């Protein structure tokens, strides 16, 4: 979501005559797009702002803006920071070029955030966001041939630990007409892969043309657009609603990638209930089984939080059990971070000590690494189709085989990362690669 917002803001500013600078030293304006999901992310922003404050001593004309969730969360408190000129929340980004122009001209601090974030925005605000979204939703040049398309904003779930509903506002699904039109435009620009985005993307729902559209309908309609080869969607919330329909479209359409990111968050029913997640671990695992029955070969990923308030060794063991049974391709594991204003922060004390969170984190990572390794190994000797993303940042592993070609990074439909040597011109192209070596998170191959 943040990558998309950054791309939208970048395009908007380029359109307004600004250009992207390679280094902070050359920049006249510095924008920091921020995340509030965990405290660590916010601390990193504050540390950047500390450096910028220092820089501004010798360069007083430098304009610094903070955009995104942290801007919405902290508002005028953030504006008080010596380094900051502009604070702009996610719903106000359509105004970003005007805000910058004003800050440059007037040399005054500017605040643009939504006061009552849980209210559905005004017609005018929604129209501005829609216009911004479709006008600037061009290809993200950093990953060849691919683009993100937001299908919904906000979230209504209120998981007790999560700040998102308080910074991104209520759930609003965009109209299928606007989404399909946007995908068509992207396809005309040569985009081959679209990733549909939403905090709970599988609950997408919108009345249009006398019927209610769900994500399955969107995927079908997007699959009919010439030039679009692969469709993905993130992130799914474990819910019965529309689940089978979405899985059936995945099974039936060659364009819908066989990949599901569906966070469990915990394996303990007691903790799941305290998290306000509305399901039990057994039901969750059954849901994964259903996905695997409908879409054979599907790869599944998940998120887990360790150290939620009150999490005992027994609760943690339940999470280990869930992880062993879920057989995720990979899992993102986080240590609970109390977020101001959330229900868990208001009602529950952060009881699990840091070192226990750390140990549980490491233990889960080890369990997952073993599973990821086993799943990766199944690819040895296989040929896979991948979409090439670009140059790989990994150290060169097979330079003898390179024939002067750089190392490229690519992805399978099932979201496995594949590294191989090939010409950079393959970025944005589909190719076949034979897997010759594996590690838990990366497959290594040769171009066929």
Which residues contact ligand SF4 (rule: CB under 6 A)?
155, 157-159, 162, 164-165, 199-200, 237
Cα 360 from Cα 405, distance rounded (Å): 42
Residue 256 binds which entry of ligand 5AD, ligand SF4, none, with Cβ cut-offs from 5 to 8 Å by kind?
none
Report if residue 365 touches ligand 5AD, rule: CB under 6 A. Answer: no
Minimum CB–partner distance for residue 3 and ligand SF4 (Å): 16
Question: Which 8-state DSSP code applies to residue 279?
Answer: -
Contact criterion met (CB below 8 Å) for 249 and 220: yes
Cα 208 from Cα 227, distance rounded (Å): 25
Residue 319 binds which entry of ligand SF4, ligand 5AD, none, with Cβ cut-offs from 5 to 8 Å by kind?
none
Report if residue 264 touches ligand 5AD, rule: CB under 6 A. Answer: no
Minimum CB–partner distance for residue 158 and ligand SF4 (Å): 6
Report if residue 316 touches ligand 5AD, rule: CB under 6 A. Answer: no
Query: What single string gives the DSSP state of each residue in 113-125?
Result: --SSTTSPPPHHH
Question: Which distant-in-sequence residues (6+ apart) come within 8 Å of 89 by Cβ?
Answer: 67, 68, 69, 71, 72, 75, 112, 113, 114, 117, 167
Report if residue 328 touches ligand 5AD, rule: CB under 6 A. Answer: no
Question: Which distant-in-sequence residues (6+ apart) come within 8 Å of 176 by Cβ?
Answer: 206, 208, 213, 217, 218, 221
- The alpha carbon torsion through 324, 325, 327, 331 (nearest 10 deg) reads -60
Cα 166 from Cα 73, distance rounded (Å): 8
Minimum CB–partner distance for residue 336 and ligand 5AD (Å): 5
**Closer CB to ligand 5AD, 56 or 73, in the complex:** 73
Which region among 330-338, 352-360, 364-372, 394-402 touches ligand 5AD (by CB under 6 A)? 330-338
**Closer CB to ligand 5AD, 37 or 79, in the complex:** 37
Minimum CB–partner distance for residue 157 and ligand SF4 (Å): 4
Minimum CB–partner distance for residue 272 and ligand SF4 (Å): 12
Site string for ligand 5AD, 23-42 (x = CB under 6 A): --------------xx----
Report if residue 3 touches ligand 5AD, rule: CB under 6 A. Answer: no
Question: Which 8-state DSSP code applies to residue 350?
Answer: -
**Closer CB to ligand SF4, 199 or 372, in the complex:** 199
Q: Taking the CA atoms of the chain, what radius of gyration do you get in angstroms?
A: 23
Residue 72 zone, left/alpha/beta (φ > 0; ψ -120 to 50; rest):
alpha
Report if residue 336 touches ligand 5AD, rule: CB under 6 A. Answer: yes
Residue 303 binds which entry of ligand 5AD, ligand SF4, none, with Cβ cut-offs from 5 to 8 Å by kind?
ligand 5AD
Report if residue 339 touches ligand 5AD, rule: CB under 6 A. Answer: yes
Minimum CB–partner distance for residue 81 and ligand 5AD (Å): 23
Question: Which distant-in-sequence residues (6+ apart) come within 8 Å of 427 by Cβ?
Answer: 144, 145, 388, 389, 390, 391, 408
Binding site for ligand 5AD (CB under 6 A): 37-38, 161-162, 263, 265, 303, 305, 334, 336-337, 339
């Amino acid at each position: 979501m943040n990558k998309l917002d950054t791309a939208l803001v970048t395009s908007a500013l380029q359109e307004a005559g600004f250009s992207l600078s390679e280094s902070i030293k050359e920049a006249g304006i510095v924008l920091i797009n921020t995340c509030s999901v965990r405290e660590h992310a916010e601390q990193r922003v504050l540390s950047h702002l500390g450096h910028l404050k220092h820089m501004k001593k010798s360069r007083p004309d430098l304009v610094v803006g903070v955009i995104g969730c942290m801007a919405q969360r902290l508002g005028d408190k953030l504006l008080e920071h010596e380094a900051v000129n502009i604070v702009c929340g996610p719903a106000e980004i359509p105004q970003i070029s005007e805000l910058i122009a004003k800050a440059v001209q007037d040399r005054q601090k500017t605040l643009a955030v939504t006061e009552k974030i849980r209210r559905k925005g005004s017609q005018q605000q929604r129209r501005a966001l829609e216009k911004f979204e479709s006008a600037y939703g061009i290809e993200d040049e950093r990953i060849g041939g691919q683009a993100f398309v937001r299908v919904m904003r906000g979230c209504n779930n209120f998981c007790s630990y999560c700040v998102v509903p308080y910074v991104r506002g209520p759930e609003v699904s965009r109209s299928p007409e606007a989404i399909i039109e946007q995908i068509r435009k992207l396809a005309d620009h040569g985009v081959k892969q679209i990733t549909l985005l939403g905090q709970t993307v599988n609950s997408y729902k919108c009345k249009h043309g006398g019927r209610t559209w769900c994500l399955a309908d969107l995927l079908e309609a997007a699959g009919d657009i010439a030039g679009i080869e692969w469709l993905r969607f993130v992130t799914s919330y474990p819910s019965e609603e529309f689940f089978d329909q979405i899985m059936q479209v995945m099974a039936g359409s060659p364009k819908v990638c066989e990949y599901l990111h569906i966070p469990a968050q915990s394996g303990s029913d007691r903790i799941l209930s305290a998290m306000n997640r509305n399901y039990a671990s057994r039901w969750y695992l059954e849901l994964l089984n259903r996905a695997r029955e409908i879409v054979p070969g599907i790869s599944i990923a998940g998120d887990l939080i360790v150290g939620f308030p009150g999490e005992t060794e027994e609760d943690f063991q339940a999470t280990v059990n869930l992880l062993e049974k879920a057989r995720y391709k990979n899992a993102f594991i986080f240590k609970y971070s109390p977020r101001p204003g959330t229900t868990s922060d208001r009602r529950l004390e952060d009881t699990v000590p840091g070192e226990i969170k750390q140990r549980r984190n490491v233990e889960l990572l080890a369990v997952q690494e073993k599973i990821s390794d086993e799943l990766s190994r199944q690819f040895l000797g296989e040929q896979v189709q991948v979409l090439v993303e670009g140059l790989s940042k990994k150290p060169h592993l097979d330079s003898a085989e390179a024939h002067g070609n750089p190392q490229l990074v690519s992805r399978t439909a099932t979201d496995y990362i594949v590294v191989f040597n090939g010409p950079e011109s393959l970025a944005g192209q589909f190719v076949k690669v034979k897997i010759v070596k594996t590690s838990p998170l990366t497959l290594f191959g040769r171009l066929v």
